[in-house]
Structure 1
Amino acid sequence: MYEPIRTKSVHSTMAGTTSDFPHRSREEELDIQLAGHLAALLAVTDELRALEPSTDLDAAAERLADQVARLREGRVPARTAASGGEPKLAALHRRAHALAGRALVVAASRADTAAAILAAERMDAHAAAQAEPQELTGVG
């Protein structure tokens, strides 16, 4: 029903020579991707810390920074300062929840238990923050 592939892939090396560009393993690619998601989550966490300081967010930021440094072979992640203006807290919590979900998927695919647990905890924390009752204003 299907014909076999008769030609050699253009992506393979020719005559046993190595290519001019470095190749990364799947594990290395997942490390890079996971570090990126966790670094983005750290940036959002730092913004949330600036708007509503809490010990939970402080502890989460330190754990996130530790995981990013571990995945980046000891290189410390860049940290963000408080941004000007007042972004909506709910939007930041939604963004953090989504980033933690992405990190959880990658951590699970590479079997990184520590990062997966941290991402799941952050998802729960941001989901709880979104579910907190909002102050209602009366119609005047």
Structure 2
Amino acid sequence: MYEPIRAKSVHSTMAGTTSDFPHRSREEELDIQLAGHLAALLAVTDELRAQAPSTDLDSAAERLADQVARLRGGRTPARMAAAVREPRLASLHQRAHALAGRALVVAASRADTTAAILAAQRMDAHAEALEPRELASH
């Protein structure tokens, strides 16, 4: 009715046995996830810098690049070439705010204070950029 199994299982099912495939620790998985979120935030930051240059965004981009490199073992992140597109700053700030929030959650779960502070600062900056400006009436 059923054909018997002829090959050894690829999964380790017995206690105390080691497998041949690599395993990552929870810490390594969180590092990979955090680096991904910060790299995505860096890409959006570079896009914002191309459309609305500012020293705050320049500084944030450098700090983000440093954190991504740290989490990736010194490998520098890929950076976006400055390509100016139609103005869509609000949607970029919204995307950056969401990415910074995701990075903050992962940084907090792995107790990475430096990355958590950076992510929180970026969330604040992008939230402030999204606030409607009140016009002073004189």
The TM-score normalised by the length of structure 1 is: 0.83
CA change 1:78–1:134 in 2 (3 A) is: farther
Q: Structure 2: which 5+ residue stretches go unaligned?
A: 1-9
1: distance between equivalents of 2:12 and 2:114? 36
- Residue aligning to 2:108: 108
Q: CA RMSD in A?
A: 2.0
- Residue aligning to 2:128: 128
- Residue aligning to 1:81: 81
Report the identity percentage: 83
CA change 1:134–1:40 in 2 (3 A) is: farther
Q: Secondary structure at the match of 1:74?
A: coil
- Residue aligning to 1:65: 65
1: distance between equivalents of 2:48 and 2:93? 8
- Does residue 26 in structure 1 map to residue 43 in structure 2? no
Q: Structure 1: which 5+ residue stretches go unaligned?
A: 1-9, 136-140
Q: Secondary structure at the match of 1:99?
A: helix
Post-superposition CA distance 1:68-95 (Å, at most 9, x none): 0000010000000123531510000000
Q: Secondary structure at the match of 1:79?
A: coil
User: How far 1:133 sits from its partner (Å)?
Assistant: 2.5
Residue 14 of structure 1 aligns to which amino acid in structure 2?
M
User: How far 1:18 sits from its partner (Å)?
Assistant: 1.7
User: How far 1:107 sits from its partner (Å)?
Assistant: 0.2
Post-superposition CA distance 1:31-54 (Å, at most 9, x none): 000000000000000000000000
The TM-score normalised by the length of structure 2 is: 0.84
1: distance between equivalents of 2:134 and 2:78? 33
Aligned residues: 126
Residue 32 of structure 2 aligns to which amino acid in structure 1?
I
2: distance between equivalents of 1:133 and 1:27? 42
